[in-house]
Amino acid sequence: MELLPRRKEIRLKNYNYASNGYYFVTICTNKNRPCIKKYRREMEEILLNLPKKFPGVIIDYYNLMPTHIHIILFFENVHTPLSQVIRSFKALVTKVTGEKFFWQRNYYEHVIRTEKALSKIRKYIYNNPLVEKLEFGQFYGTASDSQ
């Protein structure tokens, strides 16, 4: 039996991902297939209904591109961690599309720490959704890619 490669830990250690605040999430399609456009309506409906399923989750801003989706979520007194919200979204999209391997494994997240960063991330999502590498330092005025 072949073992899967060990995943790199990309989450903040000892951080409570159910904490109040803003989260910037990027979810990519499996093998970067451009299949989101085909299911755009269904995906938006699932996304916009997440607050009904998870009280306290607010969809602040989002943009669907052919191969990925950017979402800014706001958590206010949510008792469910971010990972469970994203897992539910991905599972519902997979079920509705009927495509077994719709999504790439995992997702990218960033805890937004300041209002200035929130504004810059919103602009990034709106103006430049096809930039391949995201440098988080640009949102905080530093050269580092820290989280």
Q: What is the mean pLDDT of the chain?
A: 86
| Assigned CATH for 21-126 | 3.30.70.1290
Segments making up each domain of the chain, as ranges: 21-126
At residue 16 the predicted structure's pLDDT band, cuts being 50, 70 and 90, is confident
pLDDT at 141 exceeding the cut of 80:
no
Look at residue 29 in the predicted model and tell me its pLDDT: 95
At residue 136 the predicted structure's pLDDT band, cuts being 50, 70 and 90, is low
Best CA proximity match to 109, nearest among 73, 65, 59: 73
Please enumerate in sequence order all residues whose Cβ is within 8 A of that of 102, keeping only pairs 6 or more positions apart, or say none: 29, 30, 35, 90, 93, 94
Q: Would residue 10 be called left, alpha or beta, if left means φ above 0 and alpha means ψ between -120 and 50 degrees?
A: alpha
